[in-house]
Amino acid sequence: MKRFAAALLFLAATPLAAQQSARGPIVAWSYTVEPGDTFAAIAQRWGVDMADLGAANGIPSPYVIRIGQVLRRPATKVEPLAHPAPQPSAPPVAKPAPRPAPLPRPVPPPRPPLAPRETDAPRMQWPTEGAIVSRFGDRVSGIPSNGIDLAALYGTKVRAAAAGTVIYAGKEPERFGQLILIDHGGGFVTAYAYLGTMTVKEGQTVTARERIALVGKSGEVKRPTVHFELRRNNVPRNPELYLPARL
């Protein structure tokens, strides 16, 4: 017991100069205490602080060690990197505001393809005088038109486009107001809408260009207009393909 105490005292009291002259630096990560070693000398040979070496091995100050004790080198501290001082940046150059791109022009909705004129279709005549204000496929009240619209004067005659039989003469309450339908045979039917006074009745046979009504204003229109349609087997046809050319 006295020898162990003497050894501890020797390790703590051996002069550091004598230790340095006897041994070089320690390169291993662990070290076994030998006779003549002091805690300070071991820390110096490892190149670490005594406080770090003591903390790594659980040895408090005054750092008493004994022969044969295994010490572990503390982890090397990473020196903080020196960051260059930020250089003052040049003031940002104001860029001109980009010019707004021109808005694209709205593309008109495509018109439905035109079916060829059937060779067995009846010879048609214009139902009334007046300019065409909407054509087949144009949107009227947001809905593609199944016919054409003719602007006309109040009281102008509306005539049958071809000979046939009146199958309807009455009021269509949703859009077309006063409405006449004429059956021409072969599945062909013409329609006349937005009418004023009607002058024919259902079941009546009419000849081509016979008066069937007078131009007026009924249904959804705001001015005197005649809406004219041609259908075959209830499939709309473009009336302009069946009507004679206007001079």
pLDDT 10s digits, 66-96: 899 999 999 865 445 445 555 666 666 667 7
For the chain, domains (ranges, CATH) are: 2-72 (3.10.350.10), 131-241 (2.70.70.10)
Beta bridge partners of 140: 143
pTM for the complete prediction?
A: 0.54
Whole-angstrom Cα distance, residue 87 to residue 235?
79
Task: Tokens for 183, please give them.
Answer: 């059956």
Tell me which residue of 161, 163, 154 sits closest to 225, measured CA to CA.
154
**Pair 136, 147: CB distance under 8 Å:** yes
Query: pLDDT by residue for the chain (247 residues), tens digit each?
Result: 443 343 343 334 344 444 444 568 887 889 999 988 899 999 999 889 999 999 999 988 778 888 999 999 998 654 454 455 556 666 666 677 676 666 565 555 555 555 567 888 999 999 999 999 999 999 887 889 999 999 999 999 999 999 999 999 999 888 999 999 999 999 999 999 999 999 999 999 999 999 999 999 999 999 999 999 999 999 999 999 999 987 6
Q: Is the peptide bond before 62 cis (omega within 30 degrees of 0)?
A: yes
Instruction: Give the three-state DSSP class for 184.
Output: strand
Q: Rounded to an integer, what distance in angstroms lies between the CA atom of residue 192 and that of residue 197?
A: 12
> For residue 193, what are the contacts with CB-CB under 8 A and spacing of at least 6?
172, 175, 176, 177, 178, 179, 180, 219, 226, 227, 228, 229
